[in-house]
Structure 1
């Protein structure tokens, strides 16, 4: 008789208790910090040689208070999840997304008549196209939290295409994370790490593009092979029973396109268009950051003009198509805001909330109906939001117990006697494991790069190599670490239990880690531009 697998909450709470026990075994210690300006941003970094032992901060009752602190430290992500859940529930009430998926699948069937496309696989081309786009987003501007919102769209799409929720999550989250790991222009990881290492920003670009291509080639093949197996026999999915929620929702969806054009939809169109025109005059140019280059383009005015044109066309056809247009341009303005105006979680939450409200207005819902729909969506998504705060409790215990610096100091102090390959491997292992405890890329860079760059000087390897070690070590485990608020949020939205995700992701990530180590070796033993 098989033992029942513990609930995700039980697993995370067990990890909190385990980390609390470590604080009774491992002595406290900490580095001194100093403020430095890196790429125009002030950051707190450690002083080399400043480690000193401190009084132990054993954690006991704090295993319970860590929940509260975890919620506080991830309040932005929790708010993002709740607002997105409420907004999409309003949108889903109009059946616009479901009708869009149905229309998209009908569109694909036309291409299946082509023998060439049928042989390649139309679905494969769709999956590859979506994953490539999101991988580029991860590589260029570090897309991460945004994938929580896209999960709500791609999971039902994947299941409608005959796959499962894991494939849906792979389309956006896995793809963006692979791009994040193999990033070549990400200012939040590459930019910070190179700035702390005192090497030219975004140097070594050629080899990083090569790494990105290798990582994605393997990852895409892995996901496509899994998708093909699930398409052939859906019962082989790790989450077959869990996906009943999405299958029932898809089955209950009416595909009738509403021909009535409520006056409210035209009012919503007029208000949004007027507002966007004013914004276009206020921000005629957007400074799109691409690595260390800045391109000033009229992104907002162009997007506004396209929205007005598409809005008028789709409103003449149906309300649902207009709502899909609203969703599409929400994504367009999201990309512009993130890349050109420094948007983060607050702005992302705001634009999706506005999208949900205007979608509800366009569907001719009353204010009371909008409120009820929003509350229903927030209630439905609340478990996913709460688990994010619970997971951050692990990091709270480790930081308050003052053992992270102790672990880092002792491991880094003992790694210098293993030769170049051995030291590279240990540095890579440290960055990989440390990401479990410090899921923030820029935060991890501030903690480890000052130490790693000095070790690199001692053993005679390039500081650029330490940056590669950091980005790969920081990237891959983002797909599996329970302390990542983004991962836990994505899984919560997709309704995938963490333990089932772990079973699927563990072998995949292990292979990626091995590939990552093989990609590190040329940076130390070959003549590469920028290294």
Structure 2
């Protein structure tokens, strides 16, 4: 008799209950906070040495209200997921993604005729390129929530290539997480942590670049080895039965597709071109920021010209290729918006919503058809949105119980009693533990870095080493902690049960954490540039 694994909702709710139990055991406490300006943004940070115990606030019935408050706290991510689900459902109904996958598979077969590529493996090369691209996104501008949108693309692609949904998630989500952990120019983690530590912005970049290369080498190697095993024996995948949904979807979509280009597609082409031309006229030059460097380029005018040519060529082929062209330019505009205009979830959700509408209109769907398809997509993805709200309840309970600061105080209290290497190692452990309940990098930096940086001065360790301990501790466990709304959203979209993901990703987490320990050693024992 097989043991029945608890549903993801049960696991997360159990953690909420456990958090409430902790509020009865751990005494309440808090640090004083002050508002400081970091890289032009005001943030509330703790005042080192200001910890004091307060009245305990044990949580009881709040366990049940945590769901509501979690929804309120994570409303932006929840709405983002629902819009992504609706928009991509419309696009999926047009069969354009299936056309793109079919074309991609044909391209993969063609390049295998090259002896060198055949030796290395066409799939391996393609996967490496995709993962490095997402890793760069994670390292430069902290891509995280945005990966939810790409799961809808890469999971069906991976399954259609003979792999599984875990491989598809790894191509975008895990790759971005590797970049996030080995951050080179991420303003949301490195930028804030260094600002709070009074270090030059993005200093020590040379060694962080080495760390990024090392983490990606081992992370990508782990994923490629797993993918090869699944390719040889699909039933060896822990989600083989769960992927039945994606395999059936792929087989249904393999029906003969009629290629055509309705008048409505040309109309949408002209509308998009006109809108892009207007924005290009209003913003002829865009300052694309990467860390503390800004490169002024005519990004929007260049994208407009490219769209005019590519849109015309794809329309002459069929509306399906034109819709894929819309998707590609959605991604390019997303990157431009994030790097040039500080876009976040609201703007990105708006962009994908417009993409979904444009796809439906281009396919000559009626307003009622588009509405129905959008709602069908929302229904299909609503479980992902619900789990994000439920996970948000965990931090709500811990905050209301006044125990987060107490836990931090207890964890950091023993650090100063160790040697230099032991202290940095303990800082790394503390950051990993805190990240399990507080996955937000910017919030964790504001909570821990003011104290950790001063503590590093007392024990004779460079503040840059403390930032590295924060960076690694903030990054690795993001792909395993059930308190991460992004992780649970990704898994729900991919139809991967959390328990199966946990068992699969745990060896990778162990490898990454050990690599983190090793990479921290030179920051203490060697005279590195910027340290």
Is residue 2:328 matched to residue 1:346?
Answer: no
Q: Distance in 1 between matches of 2:124 and 2:212?
A: 20
1:82 and 1:102 map into 2 onto residues whose CA distance is 27
CA deviation after TM superposition for structure 1 residue 530, in Å: 0.1
Paired position in structure 1 for 2:324: 324
Q: Residues 99 and 255 of structure 1 are in contact (CA less than 8 Å); yes or no, is this contact kept in structure 2? A: no
Q: For residue 408 of structure 2, give the secondary structure of its aligned residue in structure 1.
A: helix
Q: Give the drift of 1:153.
A: 0.1
1:204-283, aligned counterparts within 5 Å?
Answer: 204-254=204-254, 256-283=256-283
**Aligned partners of 1:19 and 1:398 also within 8 Å:** yes
1:257 Cα deviation from its structure 2 partner? 4.5
Describe the SS at the equivalent of 2:45. Answer: strand
Structure 1 position 410, deviation (Å)? 1.4
- Counterpart contact for 1:288–1:294, Cα < 8 Å: yes
Partners of 2:31 and 2:527 in 1: CA distance: 35
2:114 aligned residue? 114
Residue 438 of structure 1 deviates from its aligned partner by 1.2
**RMSD (CA atoms):** 0.8
1:272, 1:138 → 2: CA distance?
Answer: 29
1:133-148 → structure 2 map (5 Å cutoff): 133-148=133-148
Contact 2:24 2:59 in 1 (8 A): yes
Native 8 Å contact 1:398 1:404 kept in 2: yes
Measured after TM superposition, the shift of residue 308 of structure 1 is 1.2
In 2, the alpha carbon distance for the partners of 1:255 and 1:139 equals 40
Distance 1:411 1:375 in 2: 47
Structure 1, unaligned stretches of length 5 or more?
none
Q: CA deviation at 1:291?
A: 1.2
Distance 1:243 1:330 in 2: 28
For residue 294 of structure 2, give the secondary structure of its aligned residue in structure 1: strand
The alpha-carbon deviation at position 418 of structure 1 amounts to: 1.7
Q: Shift of the alpha carbon at 1:198?
A: 0.3
Return structure 1 stretches of 4+ with deviation > 4 angstroms.
none
Residue of structure 1 equivalent to 2:297: 297
SS state at 2:475 partner: helix
| Paired position in structure 1 for 2:357 | 357
Which residue of the partner structure matches residue 203 of structure 2?
Answer: 203
Q: 1:416-431 to 2 correspondence within 5 Å?
A: 416-431=416-431
1:275-334, Cα deviation, whole Å (9 max, x unpaired): 110010011111111111111111111011101110000001100000000000000000
Normalized against structure 1, the TM-score is what?
A: 0.99
Q: Who is 2:521 aligned against?
A: 521
Question: Hey, what's the Cα distance between the residues in 1 that align with 2:395 and 2:115?
Answer: 53
Normalising by the residue count of structure 2, what TM-score does the alignment of the two structures yield? 0.99
2:400 paired residue number: 400
Number of residues of Structure 1 aligned to a counterpart in Structure 2: 531
Aligned to 1:434: 434
After superposition, the C-alpha distances for 1:409-429 in whole angstroms (9 at most, x for unaligned) are 112122211212221221111
CA distance in 2, matches of 1:173, 1:312: 33
Deviation of 1:255 (Å): 5.7
**Cα 1:256–1:299 shift into 2, 3 Å:** farther
Measure the CA separation in 2 of the matches of 1:12 and 1:360: 36
Counterpart of 1:61 in structure 2 is 61
* Separation (CA, whole Å) in 2 of partners of 1:421 and 1:392: 35
Partner of 1:295, secondary structure, is strand
1:72 and 2:63 are equivalent in the alignment: no
Q: Distance in 1 between matches of 2:45 and 2:232?
A: 51
Task: Kindly indicate whether the alpha-carbon contact (under 8 Å) linking 1:257 and 1:318 is maintained by their aligned counterparts in 2.
Answer: no
Query: Residue 193 of structure 1: CA displacement?
Result: 0.3
Q: CA separation in 2, counterparts of 1:145 and 1:387?
A: 14
Check if 1:18 corresponds to 2:9: no
